């Protein structure tokens, strides 16, 4: 009886994963499973929200209004009264289970201060019903959320493919959401994130992959401490190469743009690398649809400006990025190898980032369109058993 139950669940997972990437008769399109939040007190926030919804065919009824004092940072009390309450109201009824993705429009706050410490507003919305972490607790205290997939980079052990829709259809699944924002230095750049994602879906994501490690030859690096970051980046490069991309790798402590690292990474489609705190080396040109993750404790300290990596990558043309508003610790950042593997398997950005980031109610914000699927035409190019063996 136990074996039969396990087999039945395995079959259910397989069927859900296969079928949830395309719309079948009677299935709700993913465009109808997005809630878009705008700030009524900020100019152009509604305009960006409407633009996104029009381009993706998101129903007008899936728009949700908040009104907050600041488009940047709010208090815990304001989060509860003016964000959590109205958003929960927008999710009442069938929408609680129907919605998979929450998208914050431009000029919505990204930091909430709780007991003197800054956290990402976005990740508290991801667990808005407190089903993963109870009130007063954060993800680091609770542990990995149930949709996160554990992996071992050096051992090359990765979990199975599972869409968020498939996970949420399982009995007992938590009502957690993949939360994103259309953000950047200007409203025009926020809208452009949608345009570039749609362009790459239509014409294909092209360019090269650039991967910037820092600890030297990978065979000398252990998969612990900061070495774990190098292994994540190394495997991400392997996945990109297996998917047919030309790749450029650097294993020196210097970043791209600083000798002895490569001085340029032009026509970049994929990037993972590190490390200089709260800094962007202007060594890249980004192709439409480009996805990049920089392992940095302040990589998204302010997505609209300053010296941080995310704001400047957005200014220079990247389409999707993810970063930290405050110290997340390395294990709290998204794992770039897992992100890239999920994407080339056919996941959209919303699923790939949530499945590759272990803690909610923490420090990470995702910037871009969660519906973006860069490998809709090429997801079969990667055959995992053909990946290079360990060095």
For 113-149, what is each residue's pLDDT tens digit? 999 999 999 999 999 999 999 999 999 999 999 999 9
Phi, psi of 150 (to 5 degrees): -70, 145
CA–CA dist 280, 90 (Å, integer): 37
* Cβ pair 184, 190 in contact under 8 A: yes
For 305-322, what is each residue's pLDDT tens digit? 999 999 999 999 999 999
**Domain boundaries, given as residue ranges, for the chain:** 204-358
- Per-residue pLDDT averaged across 44-52, rounded? 98
* Cβ pair 360, 139 in contact under 8 A: yes
State the chain's mean pLDDT as an integer.
Answer: 91
Phi, psi of 315 (to 5 degrees): -60, -35
- Per-residue pLDDT averaged across 146-156, rounded? 96
| The pair of three-digit structure tokens given for residue 14, joined into one six-digit string | 């397989």
For 219-234, what is each residue's pLDDT tens digit? 999 999 999 999 999 9
Instruction: Give the DSSP per-residue string, 307-319.
Output: S-HHHHHHHHT-S
| The pair of three-digit structure tokens given for residue 182, joined into one six-digit string | 């259309």
Q: Over pLDDT 90: what percentage of the chain?
A: 88
State yes or no: pLDDT of 188 exceeds 80. yes
* Cβ pair 294, 279 in contact under 8 A: no
């Amino acid at each position: 009886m136990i074996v039969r139950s396990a087999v039945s669940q395995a079959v259910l997972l397989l069927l859900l994963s296969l079928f949830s990437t395309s719309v079948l008769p009677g299935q709700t399109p993913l465009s109808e499973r997005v809630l878009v939040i705008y700030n009524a007190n900020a100019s152009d926030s509604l305009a960006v929200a409407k633009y996104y919804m029009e381009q993706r065919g998101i129903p007008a009824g899936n728009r949700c209004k908040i009104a907050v004092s600041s488009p940047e940072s709010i208090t815990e009390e304001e989060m509860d009264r003016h964000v959590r309450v109205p958003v929960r109201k927008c999710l009442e009824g069938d929408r609680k289970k129907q919605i998979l993705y929450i998208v914050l429009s431009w000029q919505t706050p990204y930091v909430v201060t709780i007991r003197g410490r800054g956290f990402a507003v976005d990740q508290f919305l991801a667990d808005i019903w407190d089903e993963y972490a109870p009130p007063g607790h954060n993800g680091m205290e609770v542990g990995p959320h149930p949709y996160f997939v554990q992996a071992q980079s050096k051992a090359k052990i990765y979990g199975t493919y599972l869409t968020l829709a498939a996970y949420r259809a399982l009995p007992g699944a938590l009502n957690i959401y993949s939360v994103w924002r259309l953000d950047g230095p200007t409203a025009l750049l926020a809208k452009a994130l949608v345009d570039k994602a749609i362009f790459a879906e239509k014409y294909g994501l092209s360019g090269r992959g650039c991967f910037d490690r820092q600890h030297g030859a990978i065979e000398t690096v252990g998969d612990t401490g900061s070495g774990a970051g190098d292994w994540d980046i190394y495997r991400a490069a392997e996945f990109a190469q297996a998917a047919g991309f030309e790749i450029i790798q650097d294993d020196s402590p210097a970043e791209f743009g600083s000798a002895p690292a490569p001085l340029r990474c032009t026509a970049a489609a994929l990037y993972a690398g590190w490390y200089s705190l709260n800094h962007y080396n202007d060594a890249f040109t980004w192709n439409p649809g480009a996805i990049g993750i920089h392992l940095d404790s302040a990589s998204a300290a302010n997505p609209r400006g300053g010296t941080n990596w995310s704001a400047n990558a957005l200014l220079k043309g990247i389409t999707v990025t993810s970063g930290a508003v405050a110290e997340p610790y390395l294990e709290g950042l998204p794992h770039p190898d897992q992100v890239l593997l999920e994407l080339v398997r056919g996941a959209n950005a919303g699923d790939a980032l949530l499945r590759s980031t272990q803690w909610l109610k923490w420090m990470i914000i995702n910037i871009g369109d969660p519906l973006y699927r860069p490998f809709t035409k090429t997801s079969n190019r990667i055959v995992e058993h053909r990946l290079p063996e360990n060095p």
